[in-house]
Amino acid sequence: MHIHPLAGQLSPDSALVDVNQLIAAYYKHIPDAQIAAQRVAFGTSGHRGSSFQTSFNEYHVLAITQAICDYRQQQGISGPLFLGIDTHALSEPARISAIEVLAANGITLMLSSGDEYTPTPAVSLAILMYNRGRRSATAIAGGIEQNTGLADGIVITPSHNPPDNGGFKYNAVNGGPADTATTDWIGKRANELMAPNLKDVKRMPFERAIHADTTHRYDFMNTYVSELEQIIDLAAIRHSGIRLGVDPLGGAGVHYWGRIAEKYQIDLTVVSDVVDPTFRFMPLDWDGKIRMDPSSPYAMRRLLDIQSDFDIAFACDTDHDRHGIVTPGAGLMTPDHYLAVAIDYLFQHRPDWGNKPGIGKTVVSSRMIEHVSRRLGRKLYDMPVGFKWFASGLFDGSLGFGGEESAGASFVRMNGSAWTTDKDGIVAALLAGEIKARTGRDPGQLYEQLTQEFGKPVSIRVEAPATPAQKKALSKLSPQQITSKLLAGNSITDILTTAPGNMTAIGGVKVITNNGWFAARPSGTEEIYKIYAESFKGEQHLHEIVAEAQGLVDVALSTIDEKRQQS
């Protein structure tokens, strides 16, 4: 992976996004539903794109919102819809477009008090709290389960993606990211609506929509903050006196942290509360782009430079559904390392969970989690990439914890009931403080203890550009394309194209030996592909695994390029 020479440094002003031009393009550029790159396409979590590339524009948002309204009508979802946004420049114009359609469709709409930015977990929590006790209202009509009176939600965010991106996510009545069947339906319907110039999209002027009888305000922030003590032992953090630092990375939770510190009287310093849609304060990521990625050592340079000021420091991405944990000894923890520690700690310090809840991980997460789960005696659900696969388990209590390799996680309340069924970077970050407060050791130290017990794996994630056609080819890799019996000198024990946890396609391939593995799959949200690899035999062995994995990907890419040239 080629590292940009400016990675970890601030962007030159000349390279920052022109917000005025970006917003102008949102309204000016009209997508063509016949062009694949301009169609609505839900990845692992929502539709994302840039108005400059005509992949996230007013037409997309109007069509997706109407499609959600149509889906709600089909499913009998008649409760309120909770709407949240992050701090990306395109989020506000997209919010306006969405409100115009939702109001015209008569949807009871819940907007944040004071137009406060809204983290993804705050929307998930609002849905679950509203729906609590309303399950009995469901009924069967015409053979379709009608979710009468239940709430759902929309979060307008492209997550940690660059400043010129916009994103749109739909959260189902279980509070989590909608499943594939739902997003496929919404995406198909949205593209149908775009094709005839939005003829069937209902819409009213914003000034009427914002003052409609169906438009209401909801205090996302105080509701979320007041519930936190039911999932995190904030009293232990307060009494320990440990020093915590947080960098909101200019994201949607920027004002939540001060409220948390004030309410629970913990020593928590917000290192920056700046919100700037250019994100000029963010160090450039590995490829020279600005990403609010708390798992990237380049993007986290600002917090790493002051890590010695705190016992634990952390950051969250733009919609605050991902976390990054920094400790004085370990620095920025690899996401999988922290997930393993969090799982090991939680299942030993939540006695009211009982013996039922299992552990959810993705197929590209560390095998260390498998070792920890086995020692804990907990069932492990190995799932495809995407947090939507954990939502139902976190909702019904079959999962106590769900986490993915890209630093997204959530878990249940201390009493075992559902908290959020979408990723929650805030509680994942605060948990690091609880761990330090109650054990006297930080997560980095506890991970080292795990390596003494199970061995010390090394891992890497390699990313490279890929066109939509190349991504499609990679997603269809099959076991038959793996002709070798060995991987980096070790016998291949398994080749997976479906996840053991639910037998659903992983959108790529995973090759496993007793000492290591790799997985190759396209990104669901960016024009890149990813190779994940892990070895329990050291760096040299890891490099050998990656080299062989890249060889496989190169063959797949060259095949698709040859076919394109021939055609």
Q: Give the catalytic positions in this structure.
A: 159
Q: Residue 186 in contact with residue 204, Cβ under 8 Å? A: no
CA distances from 459 to 28, 140, 151, 335, 450 (A): 44, 48, 41, 11, 16
Residue 520: DSSP 8-state = E
Which residue, 496, 116, 123, 113, is CA-closest to 321? 123
Strand (E) or helix (H) holding 463: strand 458-465
Q: Which tokens belong to 127?
A: 């849905």
- Separation of alpha carbons 451 and 467, rounded Å: 38
- Separation of alpha carbons 80 and 105, rounded Å: 12
User: What b/e sequence results for 472-507 when a residue is b if at least 16 CB atoms lie within 10 Å of its CB, and e otherwise?
Assistant: ebbbebeeeeeeeeebbebebeebbbebebeeeebb
- Separation of alpha carbons 333 and 351, rounded Å: 27
- Separation of alpha carbons 27 and 51, rounded Å: 8
- Separation of alpha carbons 469 and 557, rounded Å: 9
Q: Residue 184 in contact with residue 190, Cβ under 8 Å? A: no
Which residue, 43, 178, 19, 204, is CA-closest to 93? 19
- Separation of alpha carbons 28 and 22, rounded Å: 10
Q: Please give the backbone phi and psi of residue 181, each rounded to the nearest 5 degrees, phi first.
A: -60, -40
Strand (E) or helix (H) holding 110: strand 109-112
- Separation of alpha carbons 56 and 197, rounded Å: 16
Q: Residue 384 in contact with residue 499, Cβ under 8 Å? A: yes
Tokens 């110039």 -> residue: 197
> Residue 69, Cβ neighbours under 10 Å: how many?
21
Residue 175: half-sphere exposure toward Cβ, Cα within 13 Å: 29
Residue 179: DSSP 8-state = P
User: What b/e sequence results for 264-274 when a residue is b if at least 16 CB atoms lie within 10 Å of its CB, and e otherwise?
Assistant: bebbbbbbeee
CA distances from 143 to 68, 74, 527 (A): 20, 12, 40
Q: Which tokens belong to 199?
A: 């003829």
Residue 404: helix, strand or coil by DSSP? Answer: strand
Tokens 């506000």 -> residue: 92
Q: Residue 109 in contact with residue 69, Cβ under 8 Å? A: no
Tokens 């798992």 -> residue: 295
Residue 342: DSSP 8-state = H
